[in-house]
Amino acid sequence: MSSPLPRDPIAQARDQWVSHGWDAEADSMAAITAVMRTASIFLQRADSILRPHGLTFARFEVLALLGFSKRGSLPMTHASRLLQVHATSLTNSVDRLEATGLVRRIQHPTDGRTRLLELTAEGANALAAARDDLNEQLFADSGLPVADARELFQILSRFRRASGDFL
Amino acid sequence: MSSPLPRDPIAQARDQWVSHGWDAEADSMAAITAVMRTASIFLQRADSILRPHGLTFARFEVLALLGFSKRGSLPMTHASRLLQVHATSLTNSVDRLEATGLVRRIQHPTDGRTRLLELTAEGANALAAARDDLNEQLFADSGLPVADARELFQILSRFRRASGDFL
DNA sequence: ACAATATACTTGGACATCCTAAGGTTTGGA
DNA sequence: TCCAAACCTTAGGATGTCCAAGTATATTGT
């Protein structure tokens, strides 16, 4: 890790792709690899900002989702779909959130199978504090110029739609 | 997961950000969240393509790097920097690659501290097969139009440079 | 009604990755 | 010669993902 490299390693890989004759795949390879690297940069930043709050980005997303829901409660399945993670992953996150008292699992009034997730008062506080920190320390100064952030979001939205994330 | 959602959940989150008055942070939040979601989509695809080869994307990257190096061998540190992962993570990956006979650790001719990584013949074969599959099944039809892939790479390159990945 | 099927969620285990801290070797400069 | 620095591994903890299987409840169709 450490100090900056003299040249972008992904650009180098792209050159290799081209020089081996995989021209058609080179741009895609470079873009995908860059997405993964960028995600890992952001995830590291977010997690380090959230650590003092006892949260990870995955768990923050759960809290944020609950904070935005009208009733303040959501079935696991619904949350799992909106967050686009496996039910087992969500179970895992919720276990930890419940263990630290930020979230509660309650019975669904009519369907005995489903459990509703609900923010506790503590959870609401943790969410507000964490969100403020993320806004200040990550989102407000992400390293993405506004125009780039918008364009990036547009491109990724097209891709995510095409890949079946949403209609 | 399952079926497509009626609306993009990240766009919804963005709306929430705006309606709470965090306009300045909304675009950045949406872009970052979308990057993470996209990375997870790609990682899943890549890993499922590579599983039959006994590889993960992380391990594939190690093989690819060795395959491109002039001498066919690289010090751990050098590889760790180029792949931008922690030395311990690389040790872990290399342990598995060595256990399956795809990579070898050899002595550095002059520096007793450093170990060189080297592809075995088997490793070179595995790399070629895995790379062909990735090219065909992921990169050739990634879901990213060429123009989008290029623009995406440009934006992320600017960001990665700004965040200290390379000069 | 009742059996078959589908849905909701959890559990347990296998993997993988990251991080921190610590320790062994080996270099290389003061 | 001696000490700080560099290179790598080991160990342990925390997280997150996936899969397969299991429990409980609801729904469907006969």
**Tens of pLDDT, residues B129-150:** 999 999 999 999 889 999 999 9
DSSP label of B70: S
pLDDT at B166: 84
Residue A118's SS3 state is strand
Stronger pLDDT, A6 or A2, i.e. the higher one: A6
pLDDT at A31: 95
B137-CA/C4-C1' distance, Å = 39
B10-CA/C12-C1' distance, Å = 32
Chain center to CA of A143: 17
**How far, CA to CA in Å, does B162 sit from each of A41, A53, A142, B8, B165?**
12, 27, 10, 29, 8
Q: Which residue among B36, B85, B166 sits closest to A7, beta carbon to beta carbon?
A: B166
Q: Count CB neighbours of B119 within 10 A.
A: 23
Model confidence over B59-89: pLDDT tens digits?
999 999 898 887 778 898 888 888 888 888 8
The DSSP element (H or E) to which B103 belongs, if any, is: strand B103-107
Is the CB of A80 inside 8 Å of chain B's CB atoms? yes
Percent of chain B with pLDDT over 70: 98
**How far, CA to CA in Å, does B117 sit from each of A6, A16, B57, B66, B113?**
21, 19, 18, 8, 13
Question: Rounded to whole angstroms, how far apart are CA atoms B103 and B125?
Answer: 11
Q: Which nucleotide is nearest to A114 (CA to C1')?
A: C8
| Domains of chain A: residue spans and CATH | 1-53 (no CATH), 55-136 (1.10.10.10)
Residues 6+ apart with CB under 8 A from B167: A4, A5, A6, A7, B161
Model confidence over B9-43: pLDDT tens digits?
999 999 999 999 999 899 999 999 999 999 999 98
Calculate how close chain A gets to B71, using CA atoms only, in Å. 15
Q: Is the pTM of this model over 0.95?
A: no
pLDDT at A150: 97
Residues 6+ apart with CB under 8 A from B128: none
